[in-house]
Structure 1
Amino acid sequence: MSRWNALRAYTALPATTGSWFLAVTLIGRIPATMGQLGSLLLVSGATGSLALGGVTASAFAAGQAAGGPLVGRTADRYGHRPAGLAAALLHTAALVLLVVCVVRGMPTWAALVSSAVAGFSVPQVGPLSRARWTALAHRGRLPMNRFPAAMSFEGTGDEFAFVLGPALVGVIATATSPPTAVLVAAGLTATMCVAFALHPTAAAVTRDERRDGGTAAPVLRGPVFLLATGLAGLGCYFGSVQAGVTWRAVDAGADGAAGLIYAVLGLSSALAGVLVPMLPASFTPARRLQTGFVLLAVLTLPLAIVGGLHIGGLWPLGLLIVLPGVTIAPILVTAYTQGEMTVPVERISWVMTLLTSSVVVGYAVGALLSGTLADRYGPLAAFLIALSAAGVGATASTVGRRHLAALRPGLPPR
């Protein structure tokens, strides 16, 4: 009974920030998940070259990985409102420019630069939203025992965005055109991301006005590195599984099924994320992170065997992908919760965006490596890389368990 009562912690969230904040932070993170696929469909549809579309999407991912920590550091230094507003407006302009470049047949480099700038300026709503919950908890406006529920809400929001964003791009591009899909992403950015930047919760985050970095508590770089490594492994897992599932779907002549099967991974993860507050307090974050990665590897084995060895059709993949999915959101929730403990609150935006960029980098590496090897050796290569990526996370969380276990919530790092 007490476990179910733990879910009541979610009721403290709208009471703390207002329901409008929950809406803008959920919808505001969707455009970031639309840009990569949108740019791929836009360029490949206009040029007839899937390779060129892939390069454009990679430019978006590279820009996002590089720009994320900079957006976070800027938000720490100058505040969430100016940083978030500047990122949202630049991202909107870059997406519109990308459409103009492609529709008007401008040189390839112009589309690549526009895509990279669009990725670089992604408003980082998810990480900055986590930073605001952290600041609210440090200010006493959110009880610290409700903070895990806030992180669970964020993890669930990320998963829904990862499912809804690409699906929305696919639906709009099919019903109308790829340029329209990218322009819809721009419109959502110009409205919901701007609304997020201007929301009153932005004032809760204390600006880091130090120039020499010598007066505040230090960043615990060891734990940050361990968490970033684990999440890079998780991102690589995403890209590898997606490549393996896509290969099987294309081979079966049902290309569209790949997105549906991969969406099941996100949906099962989102459901598991909602239930994270039910975990007992004795199940410490360090143990939870390690257990999550180990279970991710173990529960991926059936998927790798069935998917990699062509056992059955596509429906077994849709069933088996549920198993590893239930570990993903708990891993993300735990990693971001521990990330909050590694820095003074004045630098929380930086560490949250850094961890998110680690996932993006891992995804890009996993998608590129797995896609290349799957084309040459078949889907088993992609699923084996996914297992190895889960192993990277398990290794990082095991090797660094002592350091991660020393982290304490609600206290400045020492």
Structure 2
Amino acid sequence: MLPSTYRDLLRTPGAAAFFLTAAVGRVGIAMTSLGIVWLVHGRTGSYALAGLVAGGFAVAEAVAGPQLGRLIDRYGQGRVLPPVLAAHAASVLALLVLVAEGRPGWLMAAAGAAAGASIPQLGALSAARWSALLRDGRAAELPSGFALESLANGLAYLAGPVLVSAVGAGGRPEVGSVLAAGLVVGGGLALAAQRRTAPPPAVTGPRTARSKASAAVGPRAGRSLVRPGFVVLAGLNLAIGVFFGAMQVSVAAFAVEHGVPGAAAPLYAASSCGGLLTGWLYGLRRWRAAPRVQLVVGTAALALGCVPLLVAGSLPGMGVSVALTGMAVPPILVVATVLTEATVHRHVLTQAFTWLNSASAAGSAVAAAASGQAVDAFGAHGGIAIAAAATTAMAALAAAGSRTFGPPAAKRGGGFGSSAPKRGGNFGRSGGV
């Protein structure tokens, strides 16, 4: 066990402040999409319209997120976040007004899409700060920092939906959307104000020699994402999104098939709690195996863990199985983030993290539709088969692409982001997570 614990890591000057403010904002992000469903359905009575608006939000978030990440890498968190957050607040306000006045559904969908396009990925921004903060001789601590990010994300997606559902069920769905936006904007502005721990932007100013050199680096940095290692990581996140989306539908269907629809919530909780536990424990230890080896082992363990899911015939059996697969996920996400930081150019790190989030979201959306059809045709185990196939593909991709992970030229020989995995052993440096 490391003598330096999470507590010591958070005692690093500036670390606790940016981590906690981003964590608060992330709860708001976890509330927003479900809050839109409660808001639109509560005022219109239509689940179809609620799904349309929430879908517009999700698609816009996935498409625009990497572009916001690119702007932030280029100009800095402090300059980009305030106008983006102002646009998000205005979009949520517009949606509230449109819903309250009963305006046409296409206008609501447009406002939802605007809210999605302007919501920043605070988890990616926080992860980029860990990379900047621990770049000088502390690369071995990055997995612990990214494990904290994974824990914050898991807790946000446990607490956020519960909170917004409680408010929506109480008859005031608009309060949930306002609260979500308030947490996002408040956490984001607090993060933007902490300039000391922010990664340096690629462009620092128009009149200095340094800024001209940085501007020249910018286009090359943008192309550096098209690297075999990053493509493999994006594919892994797409596959894990398929796993999440298929399991979300299949677990609910399994509970319904066994005559206990209410059992779906405890099954989801078993998976989430198992993941929180392993994520916490994983970050406390310094692992001797190289990150790419850990990725191969972790994805293989997840694929094998899906075998009991395919034959589970009772609710207790399913509970144990989903807990085991849930425990395998956080280490995979942390290692994938470690490899991302080590593989891509430092000037596109935030963009890289947001692309991985978008890949996961795309996989989840596609799998939700496909697994729904599989469940209708073959029962809950039909949807589970899609999840199992995704994990098998993930393990194969991790094994085949393990040698593609390596530092770009900007990271060879030191400097920001020089925490690439060293030969012989320990971590070099985490999603989205």
* TM-score of the superposed pair, with normalisation by structure 1: 0.89
Deviation at 1:245, TM superposition (A): 1.5
Q: 1:323 to 1:14 in 2, by over 3 A?
A: same
Deviation at 1:86, TM superposition (A): 2.3
Deviation at 1:194, TM superposition (A): 1.7
Cross-structure match for 1:192: 187
Deviation at 1:270, TM superposition (A): 1.8
Deviation at 1:111, TM superposition (A): 1.3
Deviations 1:40-76 (A, max 9, x none): 2322333333233222222121111101101110101
Q: 1:258 to 1:51 in 2, by over 3 A?
A: farther
Deviation at 1:248, TM superposition (A): 3.0
Q: Distance in 1 between matches of 2:11 and 2:115?
A: 31
Select between 242-251 and 336-345 the one with higher mean Cα deviation: 242-251
Q: SS at 2:134's partner residue? A: helix
Matches within 5 A, 1:144-155: 144-155=139-150
Q: SS at 1:210's partner residue? A: helix
8 Å CA contact retained: 1:227, 1:355 = yes
Q: Are 2:406 and 1:411 aligned?
A: no
Which of 270, 273, 277 lines up with 1:267 in the alignment?
273
Q: Distance in 2 between matches of 1:129 and 1:165?
A: 19
Q: 1:330 to 1:201 in 2, by over 3 A?
A: farther
Cross-structure match for 1:346: 347
Moved beyond 6 Å, runs of 4+: 405-409
Deviation at 1:166, TM superposition (A): 1.4
Q: Distance in 2 between matches of 1:261 and 1:154?
A: 24
Q: 1:258 to 1:37 in 2, by over 3 A?
A: farther
Q: 1:49 to 1:373 in 2, by over 3 A?
A: farther
One-letter identity of the residue aligned with 2:25: G
Matches within 5 A, 1:10-409: 10-138=7-135, 140=136, 143-201=138-196, 203-208=198-203, 209-210=214-215, 213=218, 218-219=224-225, 221-251=227-257, 255-306=261-312, 311-313=313-315, 315-404=316-405
Q: Distance in 2 between matches of 1:166 and 1:370?
A: 22
Structure 1 residues without counterparts, runs of 5 or longer? none
Deviations 1:106-160 (A, max 9, x none): 101011111112112221100111111112223x2x7222111111111111111
Aligned CA RMSD, in angstroms, stands at: 2.5
Select between 156-165 and 9-18 the one with higher mean Cα deviation: 9-18
Deviation at 1:6, TM superposition (A): 5.3
8 Å CA contact retained: 1:58, 1:364 = no
Deviation at 1:398, TM superposition (A): 1.3
One-letter identity of the residue aligned with 1:196: L
One-letter identity of the residue aligned with 2:314: G
Deviation at 1:175, TM superposition (A): 2.5
Aligned length: 403
Deviation at 1:301, TM superposition (A): 2.2
Q: Distance in 2 between matches of 1:412 and 1:155?
A: 19
Deviation at 1:275, TM superposition (A): 1.6
Q: Distance in 2 between matches of 1:43 and 1:353?
A: 28
Sequence identity of aligned pairs in percent?
A: 30
One-letter identity of the residue aligned with 1:336: T
Q: Distance in 1 between matches of 2:342 and 2:303?
A: 26
8 Å CA contact retained: 1:237, 1:385 = yes
Q: Distance in 2 between matches of 1:384 and 1:325?
A: 16
One-letter identity of the residue aligned with 2:21: V
Q: Distance in 2 between matches of 1:338 and 1:180?
A: 40
8 Å CA contact retained: 1:339, 1:351 = yes
8 Å CA contact retained: 1:94, 1:118 = yes
Deviation at 1:255, TM superposition (A): 4.7
Q: Distance in 2 between matches of 1:130 and 1:102?
A: 35
One-letter identity of the residue aligned with 2:16: S
Structure 2 residues without counterparts, runs of 5 or longer? 204-213, 421-433
8 Å CA contact retained: 2:229, 2:406 = no
8 Å CA contact retained: 2:34, 2:54 = yes
Q: Distance in 2 between matches of 1:201 and 1:350?
A: 20
Q: 1:214 to 1:246 in 2, by over 3 A?
A: closer
Q: SS at 1:122's partner residue? A: coil
Q: Distance in 2 between matches of 1:43 and 1:372?
A: 26
Q: Distance in 1 between matches of 2:4 and 2:166?
A: 34
Q: SS at 1:204's partner residue? A: coil
Q: SS at 2:288's partner residue? A: coil
One-letter identity of the residue aligned with 1:224: F
Deviation at 1:163, TM superposition (A): 1.5
One-letter identity of the residue aligned with 1:312: S
One-letter identity of the residue aligned with 1:191: G
Q: Distance in 2 between matches of 1:118 and 1:260?
A: 31
Select between 394-403 and 171-180 the one with higher mean Cα deviation: 171-180
8 Å CA contact retained: 1:79, 1:202 = no
Q: Distance in 2 between matches of 1:282 and 1:237?
A: 28
* TM-score of the superposed pair, with normalisation by structure 2: 0.85
Select between 24-33 and 174-183 the one with higher mean Cα deviation: 174-183
Select between 277-286 and 68-77 the one with higher mean Cα deviation: 277-286
8 Å CA contact retained: 2:145, 2:283 = no
Select between 216-225 and 239-248 the one with higher mean Cα deviation: 216-225
Deviations 1:3-57 (A, max 9, x none): x235625512332324332321211111221122222232233333323322222
8 Å CA contact retained: 2:239, 2:390 = yes
One-letter identity of the residue aligned with 2:111: S
